[in-house]
Amino acid sequence: MHYFPFLVVAWILAVGLYGIVTSRHLVHQIVCLIVVQSSTYVLLLGVGYVTGGVAPYFYDVPVHTPAVDPVVQALALTDVVVEAAVTALLLAFAIQAHKRFGTLDPQELAELKG
Amino acid sequence: MNPAARRWVFLIAGAGLVAFYLWGLTGLPGFGNYPGPYGFIINQVAVGQTKATAVVSAINFEYRGFDTVGEEFILFVAAAGVSVVLRHLRGERERSALDEAKDRDAPPTSEAVRTLALVLIGPVVILGWYLASHAQTSPSGGFQGGVVLATAFVLIYLSGQFLVFKRVSPVAITEAVEAAGAAGFACVGLSAVLMGLPYLTNDLGLGTTPGAIDSSGTIALISFFVGLEVAAAFVLIVGELLEQTLLIRQEGR
C-alpha cells in the first residue's frame, strides 16, 4: 500500500497555488490555475487505479479482464472540457484588462480599483 | 498587502492545507486499491448493455449522458462568452495584421513552419474524424476528436496568414456548425421523449458486434454531434483571440 501518486497531487496543487499567489502577470496566473487543475486529473486517475488493471476498453481484451475505474476517467474528461472553457474566458478577460488598464500585473490591477 | 506578507500568509495556509491533506490520505485505501463498486459493475455490464467496447464513452454518452449535455453547453456558453467579452468596443478599430514598425516588414513565416503545417493538415483532419467517429470502439470521442479537428484550422493559420484562417472559418458558418452540434445532441435526447421514453434513451439499433462502427446506437451519433460542436467552439475561441492580437487596436495606440 503506498500513496506516492497522491503526494504528487499535493505537490502539483501546492506549486500551482504558490504561483497564483505570487504571480506578477495575469497570463502567468492563468497558467498557474491550469497547473492547479492538473492536480485533479492525477487525483481522479489515481483514485480509480486498480493494480494490474487494464484500460476500460474491451475491444481486444475479454469483458471480464480486471480494469481500472472508468467513472473517474469520464470525470477527468469533463474536467478537461471545463478547464478549456475557463481558460478561454480568463484569457479573454486578461486581454480586456490589458486594454483597459494597460497592465497585466495583478497587484497593480488591485490598486487601480477599476 | 505587499508581496512578502502575501507569501507568508500563503505559506501558513499552505502548511495547514498539507496537514489536512496528509491526514485525509490516511483514510484512503491506497494507490491501486480502488474499492469499487461502481467502476467494477459498469465494466462488467457496459459492453453487453450498450455494445460499445469503450466503457468511458458509454458512461459519457449513455449512463450519464444528461450530464454530458450540460458539459457540452458549458463549452457552448464559454465560446459565446469569449465572443461577448472580446466584442468590438467603442474606440477600437481594426488594423491589418502588419508589423507595427514603419521602417521594416513583418518577418515572413519560415518555409519549414509553412511546409510542416501544410503537411500536417491532412493527417490531422483524418485523425480528428477518426477520433470523433470511433467513440464506441477505442479511447476517443467527440471531445477529443473535435479539439484535434480544430487544430487543423490553427495549422492553416500557422501555414499561411490570419486572413486565410478567417476565410476558411467564417464566423457565421462556424457559429452555425457549433449550434448544429449542440442542438443535434439535445435533439437525439428529445427523439426518445417523442417516442414516450425517458430523455436520452438509447433508441437506435445497438448492432450485434460490440465495438463495430455501426454498434452502440446513439453513443456514436452523439459523439459525432459533440465533435462538430467542440471543433467549431474551439475554432471560434481561437479565432476571437487571434483577432484581438492581430486586427484590433485601440485608437491612438
Q: How many residues are present in chain B?
A: 253
Per-residue pLDDT at B25: 87
Q: How many Cβ atoms sit within 10 Å of the Cβ of residue B44? A: 14
Fill in the DSSP letter of residue A67. Answer: B
Find the Cα–Cα–Cα–Cα dihedral A109, B1, B3, B6, rounded to 10°: -120
* pLDDT score of B253: 46
Residues in chain B with CB shorter than 8 Å from the CB of A81 are 71, 74-75, 143, 230
Cα separation, B228 vs B205, whole angstroms:
22
Average pLDDT estimate for A86-113: 85
**A94 contact B CB<8A:** no
Give Cβ neighbours of residue B63 (< 8 Å, ≥ 6 apart). B42, B46
Q: Convert the pLDDT of each residue in A9-28 to its tens digit.
A: 999 999 999 999 988 899 99
Mean pLDDT of A72-78: 92
Report pLDDT for B106.
63
DSSP type of residue B216: S
Residues of chain B with Cβ-Cβ distance to A64 below 8 Å are 44
Q: How far is CA B106 from the centre of its chain?
A: 32
Which pLDDT score, from 0 to 100, does residue B90 have? 67
Tell me, what's the pLDDT at B104? 65
- Say what the pLDDT of residue A101 is: 84
| B105 confidence band (pLDDT: 50, 70, 90) | low
CB contact residues (below 8 A), chain A span 12-71, against chain B:
14, 17-18, 21-22, 46-51, 55-59, 63-64, 67-71
Burial class (CB in 10 A: 0-12, 13-18, 19+), B167: exposed
- Residue B96 in this model has a pLDDT that exceeds 60: no
- The answer to whether residue B21 scores a pLDDT higher than 80 is yes
Window 165-204 of B: residues touching A by CB (8 A cutoff) are none
Letter for the amino acid at B164?
V
What digits encode the pLDDT tens for the residues A46-73? 988 988 888 888 888 888 888 899 999 9
Instruction: Give me the helices (H) in A23-114, please.
Output: 26-47, 70-101, 106-112
Q: Give the whole-number percent of chain A exceeding pLDDT 90.
A: 55
Q: Min CA distance, B60 vs chain A (Å)?
A: 6
CB contact under 8 A, A77 and B143: yes
Distances (CA, A) of A67 to A50, A73, B36, B92, B211: 7, 12, 11, 56, 17
Domains of chain A in start order, with CATH, are: 4-112 (1.10.287.3510)
B117 pLDDT higher than 80: yes
